[in-house]
Amino acid sequence: MRSITAKISILVLITVLSSGVCFSQTATTFDRVEPAFWWVGMKNHELQILFYHHNADLSKHEVSLSYPGVTLLQKINVENPHYLFLKLDVSASAKAGTVAIQFKAGKKTFTYNYELKNKSTAPNRIQGFNSSDVVYLIMPDRFANGDAKNDTLPGFFQGTHREKPFGRHGGDLKGISDHLDYIKNLGVTALWLNPVLENNQKRESYHGYAITDLYKVDARFGSNEEYLTLINKSHQSGMKVIQDMVMNHIGNEHWLVKDAPEKDWIHHFPTYTSSNYRGGLISDPYRSKADSVLMVNGWFDTTMPDVNQSNPLFAQYLIQNSLWWIEYAGIDGIRMDTYPYPDKYFMARWAKALTDEYPQFGLVGEVWIPSVAQTAYWQKGAKNTDGYESNLPSVTDFTFCFAVPRALNENGGWDTGLTRLYDLLSHDFQYPNANNNLTFLDNHDMTRFFLTVGKDLAKFKMGLSFLMTARGIPEIYYGTEILMDGDASSHPQVRRDYPGGWPGDASDLFNPKNGTPDQLEARAFITKLLNWRKSKPVIHSGKITHFIPKDNVYVYFRTLGNEMVMVIMNGNANENVLNTQRFQELLKGKVRAKNVITDEVIPSLDAIKVPARTALILELE
């Protein structure tokens, strides 16, 4: 006991000597106040504010405030005296302004001015996203370096080393902003950026999934203000913005990890314990407790501590953080990482809180499970036998992603080749709304599609055709349009720099005139397909009717009112002349068709020639 007291005395002495100021147990300012400001006019009136000072004892402070329409509901002290939480009621009558919060400890008092702003009343500010969109996924560090000044900054563990595959390469928000016209011209209507929030980690900080400040854009990407500028510019270009978020884990360099408010904000184990990564377990009626605990509480990675969303203060912190970004930045949607890994009841509350406040807002959860039933479990409206309701409108459709290359690479058969696509869609009855699924052929974690189909341009175009004409919200990964390849056995291989994004690059493929003949063909194909799709409600929401594939030829229709699109996929290495007798229930009354890619008119529908390894997309008249 004595030795402990002695150590504390020495610590105080050192503090006094080193800081040159009198050591104080009470605060006169804070290192962190989060959220830094809030809004009046929110439907949910409760506001929780975190106050933090790294060496002050906040447990001794009495707190008071007097502001019309705002009530202090609760002051909460936690294990760590460096923290203080306040719960406020910001009623409907409260007006925007500065709330003077008085802190008193003994005879010392000071005032913290907390700002309440007006919630935006701009109509249709938050747009959400749906099957009328095509989402373009960008890894910001690897797309374009628009500002070399932010490449290496003081206070950050990592600077820019473009030669290192796992290092930061210097891409940033300015780089994306500079190329919005290029992206828009492809026919894209929404951007999904891998996380842009601060990742001040000692290694592999470029991907963004180890967040160290949930309220701040990584300065190496730009500032919060630059993020706002990018979003506004995207909106002006007719493109929505989807923010990538993570609730399952944070970076081990996060200040909330280094000086945690309460020990149970993070799941701790005697030694490093990883998740078992079994997303399907959550809906497994026979799961064991041991497996369940590992799945949800185990760490995703050694540098990514697992967040305990069951802690009510942290839960509220996380929900408010998402609301803050929506209101602050006007983002249209969130793509939530590792959806089955956090406390699922928390995730359901999170999704409900966001969509209650912003009914238009779009939410998609990353559910990386190769099973329709186990994926459908997570979609809003699923009739789950355990009663679970996720409130999550969209799920990632990995089953779709896995089916397409197999369908294109295999020979046709009873259950192989293009029958896999028929089979895929035939399972859609399990989804409450399959048309809200995020569909894709690859992403930042997966082998690029062009490589998956053996760098075969014909198969590539077939896959894209299916993606853009089947149900769902299609996503394409940056560089797909120029046939970027790469094997996901090493992540940086699928996260290469976009050519032309860096000054001095050997080629500039942001210039649509540049590229190999295959690259030009792929980009022209995608540009034509996406721009056509943009204005086709029949593709966005038309009814699907499909026919059992025969001789590895798969035919499906989309119909809406008088509009009809027929897609014929020929998976064979030779031309097929399709007898259309089987399809009369739909073709009746239709006399001709137009190929949407070539604009060629097909004057008779009795027999349609389909070239080898081709998907014909036909508008019927």
Active site residue 327: no
Q: Which stretch binds Ca ion (CB under 5 A): 39-47, 148-156, 233-241, 372-380?
A: 148-156
Is position 178 an interface residue for Ca ion (rule: CB under 5 A)?
no
Give the C-alpha separation, 239 to 217, whole Å: 20
Active-site choice (332, 366, 442, 475): 366
Q: Which stretch binds Ca ion (CB under 5 A): 24-32, 171-179, 464-472, 559-567?
A: 171-179
Complex with Ca ion: residue 170 or 342, whichever CB lies closer? 170
CB of residue 150 to Ca ion, shortest distance in Å = 5
Torsion over CA: 500, 504, 507, 513 (sign): positive
Is position 150 an interface residue for Ca ion (rule: CB under 5 A)?
yes
Segment holding 617, helix H or strand E = strand 614-620
Name residues whose C-beta falls within 8 Å of residue 395's C-beta, 6 or more positions apart in sequence. 339, 364, 365, 367, 375, 376, 378, 379, 431, 436, 437, 438
Complex with Ca ion: residue 199 or 390, whichever CB lies closer? 199
Active-site choice (34, 253, 306, 337): 337
Is position 151 an interface residue for Ca ion (rule: CB under 5 A)?
yes
User: What is the DSSP code (8-state) at residue 10?
Assistant: H
Q: Which stretch binds Ca ion (CB under 5 A): 143-151, 449-457, 563-571, 613-621?
A: 143-151
Nearest to 488 by CA among 401, 591, 376: 401
- Asked if residues 501 and 143 have their Cβ atoms less than 8 Å apart, the reply is yes
Position among 170, 417, 474, 486 found at the interface with Ca ion (CB under 5 A): 170
Is position 261 an interface residue for Ca ion (rule: CB under 5 A)?
no
Complex with Ca ion: residue 172 or 198, whichever CB lies closer? 172
Q: What is the SS3 assignment for 554?
A: strand
Is position 481 an interface residue for Ca ion (rule: CB under 5 A)?
no
CB of residue 227 to Ca ion, shortest distance in Å = 14
Complex with Ca ion: residue 170 or 187, whichever CB lies closer? 170
Active site residue 366: yes
Q: Which stretch binds Ca ion (CB under 5 A): 10-18, 170-178, 404-412, 575-583?
A: 170-178
Is position 158 an interface residue for Ca ion (rule: CB under 5 A)?
no
Nearest to 419 by CA among 607, 586, 539, 546: 546
Q: Which stretch binds Ca ion (CB under 5 A): 55-63, 172-180, 195-203, 421-429?
A: 172-180
Name residues whose C-beta falls within 8 Å of residue 290's C-beta, 6 or more positions apart in sequence. none
CB of residue 148 to Ca ion, shortest distance in Å = 6
Give the C-alpha separation, 362 to 229, whole Å: 21
Complex with Ca ion: residue 152 or 384, whichever CB lies closer? 152
Give the C-alpha separation, 589 to 171, whole Å: 54
Segment holding 296, helix H or strand E = helix 289-297
Complex with Ca ion: residue 140 or 412, whichever CB lies closer? 140
Total site size for Ca ion, rule CB under 5 A: 6
Per DSSP bridges, beta strands 438-440 and 473-477 are parallel
Is position 145 an interface residue for Ca ion (rule: CB under 5 A)?
yes
Residue 312 burial (CB count, 10 A): 11
Backbone angles phi, psi at 488, to 5 degrees: -75, 0
- Asked if residues 275 and 267 have their Cβ atoms less than 8 Å apart, the reply is no
- Residue keyed to tokens 């897609």: 567
Position among 34, 133, 172, 337 found at the interface with Ca ion (CB under 5 A): 172
CB of residue 181 to Ca ion, shortest distance in Å = 20
Is position 31 an interface residue for Ca ion (rule: CB under 5 A)?
no
Sheet of strand 593-595: strand arrangement: 543-550, 553-560, 563-570, 614-620, 593-595, 601-602
Amino acid at 100: A
Beta strands in 455-602 (DSSP E): 473-477, 543-550, 553-560, 563-570, 576-579, 593-595, 601-602
Complex with Ca ion: residue 226 or 343, whichever CB lies closer? 226
Q: Which stretch binds Ca ion (CB under 5 A): 139-147, 369-377, 494-502, 538-546?
A: 139-147
Is position 177 an interface residue for Ca ion (rule: CB under 5 A)?
no
Residues at the interface with Ca ion (CB under 5 A): 145, 147, 150-151, 170, 172
Catalytic residues: 337, 366
